[in-house]
A = this chain, B = another copy of it.
Amino acid sequence: MSVESLSALDRSTLRERSLEALRSAILSGRYRPGDHLGEVELAGSLGVSRGTVREALRHLQQEGLVTTGNRGMLRVNSLTSAEVRELFRVRAALEGLAVREVIASARREAAAETLRAAVERLSDEDEAAARIEADLAFHLLLCQLSGNSMLVEAWQRLEGRMRVAILNGAAWQAPMMARDRHVPIVEAIERGDVEAAVRVVDEHMTAAAEHFAEATESA
């Protein structure tokens, strides 16, 4: 009786799929920082028209993964170690606000529980890529639980740059994403200790900043 229902994936536009493909290609390191991204070449390899990849590239440009070169040409972006440090300081400010709002929220208990569960997914053994995803998911969740949509948006805008920074030091990120590093945050939220929570987040970010900044310097 029922016709094959169109899966939601087929609903996505070519532009969205191209965008996702390019983003993951860059983030997986298939393109090196500084590599030139030609519209025609990408269009050919993705099997779509130039206009379509063009839109995807412009989107990536606004995300900060791609930057405009000499003649309007686009190339893969990279971050200096100073920018990495700056990035983490902004993150600290944002996530500091997040923990503040989570603690002040009426649903603090439920939020803490959710975060506790997310921390458990931060395995110390998994693949590097999985660990990165779990780490970013934890911090995004923290922002989401604040209930501040503008905060979530701002954080997500930084996410692209974050991933670039992480990519630079991908080989050494191990100790940063460990479960130990995140448990104190959850505990401070559970206790409702604003000062401690903010301080812990700050320290976490400072340590991560140093880590990845050094990684970029030696690259």
Binding site for B on A (CB under 8 A): 13, 51, 54-55, 58-59, 62, 64, 72, 83, 86-87, 89-90, 92-94, 96-97, 101, 148-151, 153-154, 157-158, 161
| Chain B residues with CB under 8 A of A62 | 59, 62
Q: A83-B149, A154-B157, A154-B158 are in contact. Are A97 and B89 (CB under 8 A)?
A: yes
| Chain B residues with CB under 8 A of A157 | 154, 157
17 extra interface residue pairs, beta carbon distance < 8 Å, beyond A90-B154, A157-B157 = A13-B72, A55-B55, A58-B58, A59-B62, A62-B62, A86-B150, A86-B151, A89-B97, A89-B101, A89-B150, A90-B97, A90-B148, A92-B97, A93-B93, A93-B94, A150-B161, A154-B157
Instruction: Please tell me which one of the listed residues B54, B87, B150 contacts residue A90 in the complex, with CB atoms under 8 A apart.
Output: B150
Give the CA-CA distance A87 to B151 in the complex, in Å.
7
The count of identical subunits is 2
B90 engages A94 (CB within 8 Å):
yes
A-B interface, 3 closest residue pairs, ranked by CB to CB distance from nearest: A93-B97, A86-B150, A86-B148
Interface centre among A83, A92, A93, A101 (most CB of B within 10 A): A93
